[in-house]
Chain A
């Protein structure tokens, strides 16, 4: 499966070796001895002050300056055997793009990344680098502090975008084949870009009124400003991709209907849009949201600007978010920004098991978020208007590791206690969106509600229909969705050319 740390493919190895042996690389390597490079300290990401930024929705990280980016690039040892690449799910040629930064060729560097990753400005911001590329970085082994690969990736793609010189690649001559991409998340956008470049006519169908999937309705602007995504969508439009918003495939039309309209191949990238609830007493009380609803109200519908925008959202004074992932961090930091006096994470395991990106947890702490570890809610209490006013919790301890490898939390009898709350955001994960499966005869669905695929090709059980991202994996990551999308696009191109 895609998650496994693969050995690099022979082609990629060969490509890396070739780049490694280019003259300019050799010279650059020699210009500063590795020992010197290892002494340099990692360039900090400039950030806005915690007690300023926790009151608005502007981006927290400000991006490296040119000078800092070049200095950071110098730290990279340009290894003969770059382990970092193995940690990147899409196999970016990391040393090449970093060395281009060291040389000051930022646009070239951006182009290098785009050979394999079409959304670098997004990944540079939201990839869990510390468990991917940066975890395997040889400099980490040597000094404990890896090269800031994500920050550099962000730097070059921002540089390219802000300079307004986004490179539009040549588009192959039209093949006359039509492709329907269902869902405009990072996976769908990637497939659209890849296949449009190959000359196919691509239409993206999206249920909501703004493209981007979780990147717009889920991840808040203080982590990923909308402009970045808009630029990406504009770029796809330039490639000739058509966007049909407000179109729910399965309801407005089915895949079969679209086939009759002349679409030859399909990519299902509908994501993990089904919010999980805990099923405990009182969970339907007013003031208890799924993270999807809470974040959608704020990010997509702009409830933070209510009443200028019409959609309201509850402003909790004592806000509690259940969960320990990125979604939970985004929700709790949103609650804080909307004026909560206390915004608290309640998580059933300990800090170590939290799946959120390290940087997000760190930022949340700086911003004054409170954490209740080893705690789980068991029921809610309401006021006379059916609004949540308190939550009974139980303390947990960690037992043996479960199937996910994390230690299983076990309730401690008699440790129940009551917490006062007036806003709860349930953020314990999402399941694959069930709609397409229900209305598409012959589409094989797995036991978690996921669309089943052949992992080598991302082909589903239906001819010409491919799938990837969260609809296949359950809630995963942006880069995994894009990795799937690239495989699917490659195979779809083969299918369309046959």
Chain B
């Protein structure tokens, strides 16, 4: 059992959750994740560590509501318990002095990339941040990023850019105007894919944090396996950070979609049978 310290909506559809995890907080590193189960019947789902506070003994994750598990998480209140919160899992992101690093993120990835950007800054890099959102009002943690970034960019689609051409357009501009040694990208699969494709011709090292469906998160099941370069890797123990230019993106897209119909069924069932009937007023 793990106690929820706080849960609040950051922007529409994206929430942050602070969980009491005195053991995890002592060892977690940027780029790692935890596996949670929102309730006893729930699925085990991975969420990246977006922040942690050793004094409070807590970790924080940022999540986007997409299906049953994240719906359930989005209804938790301070003081609630969840049955599973295990971690830290996965290899930490590689942190060292690379020179100038561009952190490109969207949706939940804005939260997930934050500790990496912070650690890169502390390691003496010049850190640039590029944050992507459909519209300006979907951007969060701007103040946090401004504090640790030497430069801060936004790509959003309220009228400025063509939808099909979102983050890579701005990314390309940034790469043209600045000498970048390394790119790290976290967000939905499509965002990570387009960022990797944008840097490929320029031969800039690009690392992504992959998000295949997982079960145990400890290397026991192989649900998270992916082709990276010539070998099959288990994202939960060999990753989640991988070289974006070596990832078999096609395979990952299909893998993430593989339970699509079941996920809809699950959500419908939950809304019909188990979602609390009385609509309580959202706290925030």
Q: Which residues of A contact B (CB under 8 A)?
A: 207-209, 246-248, 251-253, 257, 273-275, 277, 279, 283-284, 286-287, 289-290, 292-293, 296-297, 301-302, 306-312, 385-387, 433-435
Contacts and interface: CB of A to CB of B under 8 A. Distances in A.
Interface stretch (B35-43, B175-183, B190-198): B35-43
B41 A308 contact: yes
11 contacts: A251-B88, A252-B86, A273-B218, A290-B222, A292-B222, A293-B222, A293-B223, A301-B43, A310-B68, A312-B259, A433-B218
B270 interface: yes
A246 B221 contact: no
A450 to B, nearest CB: 16
Given A296-B220, A312-B263, A284 B225 contact: yes
Size range of the interface on B?
Answer: 35 or more
A385 B227 CA distance: 17
B227 A284 contact: yes
Given A284-B232, A307-B265, A252 B87 contact: yes
Interface in B23-66: 23-24, 26-27, 37, 41-44
A287 B262 CA distance: 14
A224 to B, nearest CB: 19
What does DSSP make chain A's interface, helix, strand, loop or mixed?
loop
B237 interface: yes
Contacts of B24: 252
A306 B262 CA distance: 9
B86 A207 contact: yes
Given A247-B23, A433-B220, A209 B89 contact: no
B84 A209 contact: yes
A208 B215 contact: no
Contacts of B94: none
A380 B63 CA distance: 36
Nearest to A302: B41
Nearest to B35: A246
Given A251-B89, A252-B27, A312-B262, A209 B83 contact: yes
B266 A310 contact: yes
A207 B222 contact: no
A211 to B, nearest CB: 13
Contact of A435 (B43, B44, B86, B237): B237
Given A310-B266, A312-B262, A386-B254, A290 B221 contact: yes
A387 B260 CA distance: 13
Contacts of A277: 222, 225, 232
Contact of B258 (A247, A286, A301, A307): A286
B251 interface: yes
A292 B23 contact: no
Contacts of A386: 250-251, 254-255
Given A275-B220, A284-B226, A310-B43, A293 B88 contact: no
Contacts of B85: 246
Nearest to B68: A310
Given A290-B222, A310-B42, 12 more contacts: A251-B27, A251-B88, A251-B218, A252-B88, A273-B219, A275-B221, A277-B222, A307-B270, A312-B259, A385-B257, A386-B254, A433-B219
Contact of A306 (B222, B227, B266): B266
Given A251-B88, A252-B27, A292 B254 contact: no
Contacts of B37: 209
Contacts of A246: 2, 84-86
Nearest to A209: B84
Nearest to A274: B219
Contacts of A433: 218-220
